Amino acid sequence: GQRLGITEVDDAIWLVSFMHYDLGYIDLEQRTLQTIDNPFGTRLSPMS
């Protein structure tokens, strides 16, 4: 139920974002979704 942002970056190519994270690209002509590897980066474990 969260909102996503979409921005056209080229003809029929759209960048999909959530908050300030880029998630992937939608190609409307090819009808494909190309995800970005690890859009949230690495996560560090808290020190114990």
Q: What is the model's pLDDT at position 41?
A: 81
Q: What is the pLDDT of residues 20-47, one digit of tens each?
A: 899 999 999 999 999 999 888 866 666 6
Question: Could you give the count of Cα atoms lying within 13 Å of 11 in the half-sphere of its Cβ?
Answer: 1
Give burial (CB, 10 Å; 0-12/13-18/19+) of 36.
middle
pLDDT reading at 4 higher than 80 = yes
Q: What is the DSSP letter of 8?
A: E
What pLDDT does residue 40 have?
83
Q: How far is CA 4 from the centre of its chain?
A: 9
Please determine, for residue 1, whether its predicted confidence score (pLDDT) is greater than 60: yes
Beta carbons of 13 and 25 less than 8 angstroms apart: yes
Question: Which tokens go with 7?
Answer: 């921005």
